[in-house]
Amino acid sequence: MVFNFDQLADRKSDNSKKWDREFNEGYFGKLPDEYISMWIADLDYEITPIIHKKIEEIVDKKTYGYIYFYDELFEAIKQWQGNKSDFSLNNEMISLNFGIVSALYVTVQAFCREGDSIIINSPVYNPFRVAAEVNHIGVLENELEVDQEYRYQINFKNLEELIVEHQPKIHILCNPHNPGGRVWSKEELQKIADLCLENNVILVSDEAHADHINQGQFTSALSLDKKYTDNLIVLNSANKGFNFAGLKMGYNIIPNPDINNLFKQQLKKQGILEPNIFGAAALCASYTNEGKEWLEASYDYMVQNYDWASSYLSQEVPELKITPLDSTYLMWLDVSSLGMNGDEVVERLAQEEGILFQPGSSFGQAGINHIRINLGTSKEVVQKSFRKFADWCQKNKR
């Protein structure tokens, strides 16, 4: 099937966090009449045809009553995950979430008490931090290091020292990592899992971006040996791959029955009981051959956007440091050579040029010199915005 990713959905009129003017002015300040939004990880494409069809079928029936976590959902998840690891999944291990973010909160509430802490590798997706902070749980940050290719690396010595000294209850790993798109190798995962096991720390693997792998081999934490998967919570959804975050649907996989029971009790306390009828249908439709075809075609298109943007920027503003795109559709750029940090670049670009990028500081202080750019849009939008961005850098660098 041929998909047209040059043609974009109209997002300015749907109360979208990404495109709504009022919402974005609250975040970026006064915007010019014309603006292009490339921040939050939300695609500008129309929904996958197979998902649209399944949702239309429900709409045509005109009934939207309660549903349960039905067999087709379990089967779809087991099959999709079965393509990523040899782990033998059963229905008991799978539970519902209302998007991974909801499950981050549930995890913290289930396994931490006031005075406890969690550990994360920063900069990282901010809800990891917020889920702990709003529950009065401490956050230990193991700062990632960059290698010569501007790829993130884990400082294992530091990670171990922090774990041994502070005994956090859980380690939330972003696998693959957002921002920066790093795909952790099996050896790296194993080292992390070892540290967790030795120190009684539950490993939580957020695999939100696992459907977008450009370079390297994704390893689900479920591929690790049983002793590690017995100490593991995997959080997942199809929201990044298939772009239906607004349907609030995702799932958790927990092999160890004791950990699973505690987690499920907390799900109940949070009232996370039954799926949304549209979210469930969308998840089943995603995890099919037709869904996969769209996923691959859309990601190819986004990788082409990245290839064009990175070669253009390397020519026009060679001082910017571009992180290789191993995973995700989100370019991660170190802008410090412009003589400004990411906050200043983002605020000025938004207000002066109407180009909305995401400040790296929104992933923690460790991201202060970076900006993140969402390439899940048309080639035309990418080229227009990067031309403006490069001109602006040339005029304003100090």
Ligand X SMILES: Cc1ncc(COP(=O)(O)O)c(C=O)c1O
Q: Report, in angstroms and rounded to the nearest whole number, the Rg of the chain calculated over CA atoms.
A: 21
* Burial of residue 156, with CB atoms counted within 10 A of its CB: 0-12 exposed, 13-18 middle, 19 or more buried: middle
Q: Exactly one of 5, 28, 80, 125 binds ligand X (CB under 6 A); which one?
A: 125
Tell the smallest beta-carbon distance from residue 248 to ligand X (Å). Answer: 8
Closer of 264 and 372 to ligand X (Cβ): 372
Nearest-angstrom CA–CA distance, 154 and 366? 13
Tell whether the torsion through CA atoms of 82, 84, 90 and 94 is positive or negative.
negative
Answer for which of 31, 41, 170, 232 binds ligand X (CB under 6 A) is 41
CA 152/CA 168 separation, integer angstroms: 23
Task: Find the shortest distance in angstroms from Cβ 38 to ligand X.
Answer: 14
Interacting residue with ligand X among 77, 140, 189, 245 (CB under 6 A): 245
Q: Using an 8 Å Cβ cutoff, are 91 and 253 in contact? A: no
Report how far apart the first and last C-alpha atoms of the chain are (Å, whole number): 49
The identity of residue 372, as a single letter, is R
Instruction: Supply the minimum distance, in Å, between the C-beta of residue 353 and ligand X.
Output: 24
CA–CA dist 254, 112 (Å, integer): 17
C-alpha span between 113 and 128 (Å, rounded):
16
Select from 24, 239, 266, 369 the one that contacts ligand X (CB under 6 A).
239
Report, in Å, the least distance between residue 172 CB and ligand X. Answer: 9
| 180 near ligand X, judged by CB under 6 A | no
Instruction: Please give the single-letter amino acid code of residue 338.
Output: L
Indicate the residue among 31 and 174 with the shorter CB distance to ligand X: 174
Find the shortest distance in angstroms from Cβ 332 to ligand X.
Answer: 12
> Cβ closer to ligand X: 174 or 280?
174
Residues whose CB is less than 8 angstroms from the CB of residue 302 and which lie 6 or more positions away in sequence, other chains included: 212, 329, 375, 376
Q: Looking at beta carbons only, is 181 or 353 nearer to ligand X?
A: 181
Shortest approach of ligand X to residue 120 CB, angstroms?
Answer: 11
Residue 17 or 379 with smaller CB distance to ligand X: 17
- Pattern of binders to ligand X over 199-238, x per CB under 6 A? -------x-x----------------------------x-
**What sections of the chain are H helices per DSSP?**
21-28, 49-61, 71-82, 100-111, 127-133, 156-166, 186-198, 226-229, 239-242, 257-269, 277-286, 289-316, 342-348, 379-396
The SS3 assignment for 92 reads helix
Nearer to ligand X, 298 or 392 (CB): 298
Q: Which residues 81-110 are close enough to bind ligand X by CB under 6 A?
A: 99-101
Kindly write out the interface string for residues 276-315 of this chain, putting x where it contacts ligand X by CB under 6 A and - elsewhere.
Answer: ----------------------------------------
Report the residue count for the chain. 398
Instruction: Report the residue number, 266 or 340, with the smaller CB distance to ligand X.
Output: 266
Query: Is 172 in a helix, a strand, or coil?
Result: strand
Residue nearest to ligand X (CB): 99
Structure tokens at 42: 């939300």
Nearer to ligand X, 109 or 237 (CB): 237
Tell me, by CB under 6 A, how many residues bind ligand X. Answer: 13
Among 178, 214, 219, 374, indicate the residue that binds ligand X (CB under 6 A). 178
Q: Which is nearer to ligand X, 151 or 240 (CB)?
A: 240
Q: How far is the CB of 77 from ligand X (least distance, A)?
A: 14
Residues pairing with 253 in the sheet: 94, 234
Closest to 121 measured CA to CA, from 169, 167, 156, 166: 156
Site residues for ligand X per CB under 6 A: 41, 99-101, 125, 174, 178, 206, 208, 237, 239, 245, 250
